[in-house]
């Protein structure tokens, strides 16, 4: 059965690959995308998302969301990132984001749905938390969220925090405590499924617009990771957000544990940490299926297969 999905993105090189997978997978129907502050300013995320859709000939609507985190105006915003650049290296779009604001579109679309749309947030959780705050009944209309975010063993924005959660910890706290069923794809999983320069060569050999674009995004990421946070295997990169979308298509691509997760919002050193109760010490009920494992060959095979498709 084809699954309906909405992606909430801060596009971004790995968001771009995730969007192409969601748009081209025969197992998914991409209802639309919302954009949020994150890797680059929100207006740039919107332009980048539209560029990706134009590049592969997708008409799905794009709705611009929150341009600031919920409560932290002092967020140290990246204007240009070594891993994402600023604008993706694709032609400028002629399309515009729809005039309906991202948060309102999420509310209207889920409330009008049959409760059959999976939400896939792969950026900071500001839009999702705002929507849940504005419309608490939304909880009963979202069957599942598959979130790229969080980290148990090590962070990437700080020693403890993963970037998406670190940008807006208050929003992440609202979301994980919302009661919506959640699968979370943290760094612990994404860093075990690395894309290499050889994989990029294979994307180029496949030769479709999606695969060639994926090659150039992944090559840019590899340069950025080599320069800032080299992976254990030289010349490789995680493609975090793509793994979350693949986990919607085939849940067996990740291995999860059902645990209680909360988010640190007051830590001096640990702001934005996803606090994972693996040892069941909090006495709190599990709320998140947290991925600590990944089937890396399956993930790669899915990317090669899906990105070899055209619209």
Catalytically active residues, by annotation = 10
272's CB contacts (< 8 A; 6+ apart) are 155, 157, 158, 160, 161, 162, 165, 166, 167, 169, 172, 263, 264, 265
Question: What's the min distance (Å) between Cβ of 36 and Ca ion?
Answer: 9
Token pair of 134 as six digits: 């504005």
Using CA atoms, how far apart are residues 78 and 270, in angstroms rounded to an integer? 20
The answer to whether residue 164 forms part of the interface with ligand BDR (CB under 6 A) is: yes
CB of 186 to Ca ion, least distance (A): 13
Instruction: Tell me the window of 50-58, 126-134, 160-168, 195-203 that interacts with ligand BDR (CB under 6 A).
Output: 160-168
Q: Which member of 7, 8, 12, 46 binds ligand BDR (CB under 6 A)? A: 12
| Span from 7-15, 132-140, 208-216, 250-258 in contact with ligand BDR (CB under 6 A) | 7-15
Task: Closer to ligand BDR by CB, 141 or 290: give it.
Answer: 290
Would you say how long the chain is, in residues?
311
**Cβ-based nearer residue to Ca ion, 20 or 206:** 20
In this structure, are residues 176 and 182 in contact, taking their beta carbons and an 8 Å threshold? Answer: yes
Angle between helices 296-307 and 240-249 (to 10 degrees): 90
Pick the stretch among 40-48, 65-73, 123-131, 149-157 that binds Ca ion (CB under 5 A).
123-131
Euclidean distance between the first and the last CA atom of the chain, given in angstroms as a whole number: 19
Binding site for ligand BDR (CB under 6 A): 12, 14-15, 39, 122-123, 148, 156, 162-164, 240-241
């Amino acid at each position: 059965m084809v699954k309906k999905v909405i992606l909430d993105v801060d596009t971004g090189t790995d968001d771009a690959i995730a969007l192409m997978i969601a748009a081209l997978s025969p197992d998914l129907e991409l209802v639309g995308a919302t954009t949020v502050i994150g890797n680059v300013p929100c207006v740039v995320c919107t332009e980048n998302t539209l560029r990706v859709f134009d590049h592969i000939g997708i008409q799905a609507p794009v709705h611009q969301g929150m341009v600031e985190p919920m409560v932290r105006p002092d967020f140290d915003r990246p204007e240009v990132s070594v891993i994402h650049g600023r604008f993706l290296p694709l032609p400028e779009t002629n399309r515009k984001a729809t005039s309906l604001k991202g948060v309102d579109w999420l509310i209207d679309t889920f409330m009008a749905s049959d409760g059959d749309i999976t939400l896939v947030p792969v950026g900071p959780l500001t839009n999702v938390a705002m929507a849940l705050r504005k419309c608490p009944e939304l909880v009963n209309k979202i069957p599942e969220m598959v979130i790229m975010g969080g980290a148990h063993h090590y962070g990437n924005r700080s020693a403890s925090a993963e970037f998406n959660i670190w940008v807006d910890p208050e929003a992440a706290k609202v979301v994980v405590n919302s009661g919506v069923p959640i699968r979370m794809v943290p760094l612990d999983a994404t860093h075990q499924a690395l894309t290499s320069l050889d994989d990029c060569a294979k994307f180029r050999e496949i030769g479709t617009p999606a695969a060639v674009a994926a090659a150039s995004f992944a090559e840019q990421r590899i340069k950025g990771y080599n320069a800032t946070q080299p992976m254990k295997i030289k010349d490789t990169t995680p493609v975090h957000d793509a793994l979350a979308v693949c986990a919607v298509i085939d849940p067996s691509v990740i291995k999860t544990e059902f645990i209680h997760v909360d988010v640190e919002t007051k830590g001096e050193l640990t702001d934005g940490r996803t606090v994972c109760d693996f040892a069941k010490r909090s006495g709190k009920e599990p709320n998140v299926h947290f991925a600590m494992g990944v089937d890396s060959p399956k993930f790669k095979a899915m990317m090669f297969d899906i990105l070899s498709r055209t619209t």
